[in-house]
Each structure stands twice: as structure tokens, then as C-alpha cells.
Structure 1
């Protein structure tokens, strides 16, 4: 298999999982799914060129699932409007908490 490509894919997979698990908001989670898509492509290439067809097949399915995550978190117009409204509300809530703490 492809050593360098696999290390990039492994590191990217761990970083993407960390971004999603950290629960830092919809936008960060969406970018975690984007990274998952990129590393799935790396794993597919590595699997196809290295004779590891189960890895390639699994990551083909994961690519589809993660592309759905990108749609849900970053591209879906309805969810984007929700995100923009939530960011407005978050800003107001942070200001209110700061006033209460002072």
C-alpha cells in the first residue's frame, strides 16, 4: 500500500473525528465532514492501488455518508439559515451572560 498517502489519510481521519467530536458548532462540524471526504478519497486511492479492495469499498460508502454530512452542515439552504440565526442568538446570549457576570 502507499505509505505516505496512508499516513496523510490516517492523520486527516483523526483530525476530522476530533473536529466532529469537539462539538464546536455546526460550521466546524461541517468542515470535519469535508476533511472526512478528502481522506476517504485518499483511502480509496490507497486501497485501489495497493490491492486493499475492502478499504476502498468501505471508504466509498463513507465518502457518500460524509458528503451527506457536508450537505447537512454546510450546504443545505434551510440549515444555513438556521445557522445564521443561531449565530445571531449566540452573540446576544454571550453579551447577556457577560453583563450578568459583571
Structure 2
């Protein structure tokens, strides 16, 4: 596989993580926009394609995909005013694991 293809996949994963960070930054405002959640969710297919086509990046893509799912659940509960502590802890754990994998 060419380095350009691998670099593009890494950049795509990084964009998903950046989109997640932008949504996380909305938390202090008391509401996470639906467009931010949708933008993150739209990337699930891309992550699945990367995971199925790149054995080296599959673990990271799969972990980011899990973080997307947990964040969506968190956003839904948070926006509804419900307790989302479990999702917040799971999300934080996944993001720490992703950080360790990408160092």
C-alpha cells in the first residue's frame, strides 16, 4: 500500500477526532448541536472502510468508531438533560486508549 493512501486514511481518522473535539467543546454551552453529532456519525462508514481495508489502522479506526457510538449516546442523554455520567466515563476511557495507540 502506498504511503499516500495510508497518510490519507490517517488524516481521515484525525478529522473524525477533530470533529469529536469540536462537539465536546460545545458541552459548556449546555447543548451539543445535532449537526455536530450528525457530522461525527457520518464518518462511521469511513471508519468501517478503513478498518476493513487496512490491518495496521484497523485497531485505531475501530476504537474511534466505538468512541463515536459512545459520544452519540452521551450527546443524546446530555441534550435531553439526563444523567450521562456512564457515557462520559466510557468516552473518556476510549479517548485515552486512542491517545495511547497513536503515540
| Greater relative contact order structure (CA < 8 Å, 6+ sep) | 1
Larger radius of gyration: 1
Query: Which has more helix, going by share of residues?
Result: 1
- Range class of TM-score, shorter chain: 0.3 to 0.5
